[in-house]
């Protein structure tokens, strides 16, 4: 005769393993159909629960059964052409269970160290009605609201295994994290496999970067209205070295955009006024230097004339045409 040792107080004798998914088998609720001597026969020559191979005599908790009447504590009775689990002697009839009884788990890759509790409603007929075994406090009627508790200066969150972890520790979340409001961090935010998005369709967002010196402006990347569902992508081509692009003040004498390995800056002006009176016309522009490249064409002109040459100088340039173009306007681009 097999003897099973068990306790008779709310803390049930510990189990080695707890199920993490349904274990299919043929359930028999005992000779008197009340759970006494009930078995679950599994059509397999071995049984693995929570990454651990079961052995004869192991005490296991089935708490994820599709047929919830099968749930409870079992002992591995035999392993052969089939695996037979028999309800444990301390949990095989209605008279032995009450709400609040709990059991701890000693092994397994997921459930090791966890506690499970019997909660109401208790089954009216053991092995026929559902037996509710719960390891999640929120499902037992405890509702959490508001931000993480900081009463002890250690805000806590749940990791992918359902364990409570301090927010200061390294934890991996197994689900999306939705935040209403601002997210402030003291370190980097990194996406190892995915996008970082600011805003959503119809709800504008920006990326803002601060320089190392206080009160010296920010770099803001914001999307404008494209007039339709059109995206603008900024990407790098094939390059042979690291490259830095600087956007200085376009309104200043040194304004422009770097477009080569040298400090090339560019300024474009449309419809600069020309007074006429000679084939050579002078235009004043502080951006221009004697080493600049200036290209241009007549935008409007009184007389027919074509540009022959443009000679840059410091703060101005001279346009020589085939004839006096007269009063008009001139378009030009300065690069330096």
The segment with the largest mean pLDDT, out of 92-101, 179-188, 322-331, is 322-331
Q: Per residue in 54-74, pLDDT tens?
A: 999 999 999 999 999 999 999
Which of the four pLDDT bands, split at 50, 70 and 90, describes residue 165?
Answer: low
pLDDT for residue 141: 41
Tell whether the model's pLDDT for residue 252 goes beyond 90: no
How far apart are the C-alpha atoms of 41 and 50, rounded to whole Å?
A: 19
Cα separation, 44 vs 84, whole angstroms: 10
Domain boundaries, the chain: 17-139, 266-335
Query: Which two three-digit tokens encode residue 246?
Result: 């600087």
Distance CA 101, CA 6 (A): 13
The structure tokens 């037979």 sit at 84
Query: Would you place residue 233 in the very low, low, confident or very high pLDDT band (cuts 50, 70, 90)?
Result: confident
In three-state secondary structure terms, 290 is coil
Q: For the range 142-145, what are the long-range contacts, defined as Cβ-Cβ under 8 Å and sequence gap of 24 or more?
A: none
Which burial class, exposed, middle or buried, applies to 306 when counting CB atoms under 10 A from its CB (0-12, 13-18, 19+)?
exposed
What's the pLDDT band for 319 if we cut at 50, 70, 90? very high
In whole numbers, what is the pLDDT of the chain averaged over residues? 84
What tokens appear for 289 in the block?
């230097």
What pLDDT is attached to residue 287?
93
Residue 163 is predicted with a pLDDT of: 59
Pick 109 or 175 by higher pLDDT: 109
- The token pair that represents 230 in the structure block: 């059109």
Residue 252 burial (10 A CB sphere; 0-12, 13-18, 19+): exposed
Burial class of residue 84 in the structure, from the number of CB atoms within 10 Å of its CB (0-12 exposed, 13-18 middle, 19+ buried): buried
Q: What is the pLDDT of residue 23?
A: 95
Question: 254 versus 269: which is more confidently predicted?
Answer: 269
State the average pLDDT over residues 24-28.
96
Tens-digit pLDDT profile for residues 274-304: 999 999 999 999 999 999 999 999 999 999 9
The Cα–Cα gap between 336 and 325 comes to 27
DSSP, collapsed to helix, strand or coil, labels residue 318 as strand
Q: If we measure between CA atoms, which residue out of 107, 83, 87 comes closest to residue 28?
A: 87
pLDDT > 90? residue 334: yes
The two tokens of residue 214 are: 């206080």
Which token pair is 127? 């092995």
Listed in sequence order, the residues at least 6 apart from 247 whose beta carbon sits closer than 8 Å to its beta carbon are 257
Of the two residues 77 and 240, the one the predictor is more confident about is 77
* Closest C-alpha to 101, from 72, 126, 124, 77: 72
Tokens encoding 262: 């040298």
What one-character-per-residue DSSP string does 213-279 give? STTS--EEEE----SSS----------SS--------TTSTT-----SSS---EEEEEEEEE--SSS
Dist CA 289 CA 281 (whole Å): 17
pLDDT above 70: residue 168: no
pLDDT tens digits along 99-154: 889 999 999 998 998 999 999 999 999 999 999 998 754 444 444 444 444 455 45
CA 275 centroid distance within chain = 62
Which residues is 280 bridged to in the sheet?
A: 320
Please name which of 198, 207, 9, 152 lies closest in space to residue 90, comparing C-alpha atoms: 9
pTM for the predicted model, two decimal places = 0.43
The pLDDT-based confidence of 164 (bands split at 50, 70, 90) is: low
Alpha carbon distance 201, 88 (integer Å): 57
pLDDT for 253: 60
CA 203 to chain centre: 19
DSSP letter (8 states) at residue 37: T
Select the more confidently predicted residue: 243 or 282. 282
């Amino acid at each position: 005769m097999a003897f099973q040792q068990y306790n008779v107080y709310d803390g049930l004798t510990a189990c080695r393993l707890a199920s993490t998914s349904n274990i299919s088998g043929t359930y028999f609720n005992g000779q008197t159909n009340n759970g006494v001597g009930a078995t679950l026969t599994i059509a397999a020559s071995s049984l693995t629960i929570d990454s651990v191979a079961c052995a004869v005599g192991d005490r296991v908790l089935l708490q994820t059964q599709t047929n919830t009447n099968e749930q409870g504590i079992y002992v591995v009775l035999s392993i052969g052409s089939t695996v037979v689990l028999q309800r444990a002697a301390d949990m095989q009839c209605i008279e032995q269970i009450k709400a609040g009884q709990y059991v701890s788990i000693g092994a397994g890759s997921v459930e090791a160290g966890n506690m499970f509790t019997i909660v109401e409603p208790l089954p009216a007929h053991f092995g026929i009605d559902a037996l509710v075994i719960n390891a999640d406090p929120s499902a037992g009627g405890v509702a959490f609201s508001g931000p993480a508790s900081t009463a002890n200066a250690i805000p806590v969150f749940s990791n992918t295994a359902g364990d409570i972890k301090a927010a200061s520790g390294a934890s991996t979340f197994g689900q999306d994290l939705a935040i209403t409001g601002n997210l402030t961090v003291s370190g980097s935010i990194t996406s190892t496999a995915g996008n970082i998005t600011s805003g959503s369709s119809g709800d504008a967002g920006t990326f803002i970067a601060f320089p190392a010196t206080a009160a010296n402006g920010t770099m803001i990347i914001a999307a404008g209205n494209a007039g339709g569902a059109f995206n603008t992508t900024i990407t790098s081509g094939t390059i042979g070295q690291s490259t830095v692009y600087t956007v200085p003040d376009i309104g200043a004498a040194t304004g422009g955009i770097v477009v080569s390995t040298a400090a090339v800056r560019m300024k474009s002006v449309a419809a600069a006024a020309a007074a006429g009176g000679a084939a050579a016309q002078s235009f004043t522009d502080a951006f221009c230097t004697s080493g600049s490249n200036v290209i241009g064409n007549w935008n409007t002109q009184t007389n027919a004339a074509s540009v022959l040459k443009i000679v840059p100088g410091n703060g101005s340039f001279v346009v020589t045409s085939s004839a006096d173009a007269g009063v008009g306007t001139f378009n030009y681009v300065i690069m330096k």
